[in-house]
């Protein structure tokens, strides 16, 4: 596995592409990644440690931004 890969929906996807997901799955995956990044962020600010390396946090935060660009409608619904 490359650090530019992310496991979702039973498979690996690349960071630099938009997944070809049905709308419901896209909403679910964006929501799930958002929850994880938010939890790490909250843990870092409350406890001083998020339990994940800065490198992974940064990569998955970037992934979340990419997915939000891919699925702009996710933020509306």
Domain spans of the chain, in order of start = 22-72
Quick one: pLDDT at residue 77? 45
- The more confidently predicted of residues 38 and 74 is 38
At 5-28, the pLDDT tens digits run 555 444 555 556 788 899 999 999
- The pLDDT value given to residue 51: 86
Can you give the pLDDT at residue 50? 84
Per-residue pLDDT, 67: 93
Tens of pLDDT, residues 31-73 = 999 999 999 999 999 998 888 999 999 999 999 999 999 988 6
DSSP string covering the chain: --TTEEEETTEEEETTS-----HHHHHHHHHHHHHHHHHHHHHHHHHS--SS-HHHHHHHHHHHHHHHHHTGGGGT-
């Amino acid at each position: 596995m490359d650090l530019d890969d992310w496991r979702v929906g039973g498979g690996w996807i690349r960071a630099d592409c938009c997944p070809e997901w049905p709308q419901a799955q896209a909403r679910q995956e964006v929501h799930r990644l958002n929850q994880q990044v938010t939890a790490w962020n909250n843990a870092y600010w409350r406890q001083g440690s998020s339990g994940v390396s800065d490198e992974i946090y940064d990569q998955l935060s970037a992934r979340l931004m990419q997915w939000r660009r891919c699925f702009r409608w996710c933020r509306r619904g």
